[in-house]
């Protein structure tokens, strides 16, 4: 089990494939199609961040905290907590609206999150890492395509109101806290056997080089 958890970012590619199969074999509404496309792309997004090219962990901590601890076991993220946080967010924001299509605010949350991801990867992370690309940028751009297409179709019909917007933002905030800040996340992050490995950290080499950080200086890499 530990082996698979440490390579969760490869498993999500197959999960994306399952959603693609479901999309291809079914007859779906506009809303369902947009959500399924979002589920496919968000799982490819996880792979881009942690698998190929990977390196998001060091970069994300650097942008958020300013400094990355040399003791990898103390990082505010590991492979298990990353799995928990990302999959919880995918389920709560993209999968759950498929079962409650009448809750328009729930669908709107997925749309808003797509644009939030674009802002994070194309503006905040690039500014913080002094780069033009960071792991997740390409799929973040793709994620807004079905979201924009959906908005283009439904906004003129008056599908959403201000209450939908407020509740959707609150739903995103709640699930972000559950995914990446809650005691549940901290419990997962406390399992040091899932600390990032040297190979994981070496995926951040372009940024490590830029900030003059040597991988050999890190401690407790798995």
* Distance in angstroms (rounded) separating the CA atoms of residues 174 and 182: 10
Q: pTM, whole model, 2 decimals?
A: 0.94
pLDDT score recorded for residue 63: 94
CB atoms within 10 A of CB 194: 22
Write the burial class of residue 157 (CB in 10 Å: 0-12 exposed, 13-18 middle, 19+ buried).
exposed
Span 53-89, pLDDT tens digits:
999 999 999 999 989 999 999 999 999 999 999 999 9
Block residue for tokens 């709107």: 108
Span 43-61, pLDDT tens digits:
999 999 999 999 999 999 9
The DSSP annotation for 36-92 comes to HHHHHHHHHHHHHHHTSS--HHHHHHHHHHSS--SBGGGSS--HHHHHHHHHHHHII
Quick one: average pLDDT of 29-46? Answer: 96
pLDDT score recorded for residue 159: 80
- DSSP one-letter code for 23: H
Q: Is the confidence at residue 155, as pLDDT, over 90?
A: no
* Contacts made by residues 13-18, CB under 8 angstroms, sequence distance 24+: 13/43, 13/44, 13/47, 13/51, 15/43, 16/40, 16/41, 16/43, 16/44, 16/47
Quick one: average pLDDT of 102-122? Answer: 94
CB atoms within 10 A of CB 189: 21
| Residue 154 banded pLDDT, cuts 50, 70, 90 | confident
pLDDT score recorded for residue 3: 84
Question: What's phi and psi for 148, nearest 5 deg?
Answer: -65, -40
Closest-CA residue to 56 (of 35, 29, 40, 79): 79
The DSSP annotation for 152-204 comes to HHHGGGT---HHHHHHHHHHHHHHHHHHHTSHHHHHHHT-GGGPPPHHHHHTT
């Amino acid at each position: 089990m530990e082996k698979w958890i440490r390579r969760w970012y490869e498993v999500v590619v197959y999960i994306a494939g399952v959603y693609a199969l479901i999309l291809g074999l079914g007859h779906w509404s506009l809303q369902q199609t947009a959500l399924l496309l979002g589920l496919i792309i968000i799982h490819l997004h996880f792979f881009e961040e942690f698998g190929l090219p990977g390196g998001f962990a060091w970069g994300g901590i650097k942008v958020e905290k300013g400094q990355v601890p040399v003791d990898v076991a103390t990082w505010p993220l590991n492979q298990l907590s990353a799995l928990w946080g990302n999959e919880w967010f995918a389920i709560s924001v993209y999968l759950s609206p498929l079962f409650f299509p009448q809750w328009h605010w729930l669908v709107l949350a997925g749309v808003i999150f797509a644009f939030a991801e674009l802002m994070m990867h194309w503006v905040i992370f690039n500014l913080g890492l002094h780069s033009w690309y960071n792991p997740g940028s390409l799929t973040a751009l793709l994620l807004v395509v079905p979201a924009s297409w959906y908005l283009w179709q439904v906004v003129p019909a008056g599908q959403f109101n201000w209450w939908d917007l407020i509740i959707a933002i609150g739903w995103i905030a709640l699930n972000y806290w559950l995914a990446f800040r809650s005691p549940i996340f901290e419990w997962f992050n406390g399992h040091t056997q899932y600390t990032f490995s040297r190979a994981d950290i070496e995926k951040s080499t372009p940024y490590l080089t830029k900030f003059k950080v040597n991988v050999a200086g890190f401690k407790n890499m798995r």
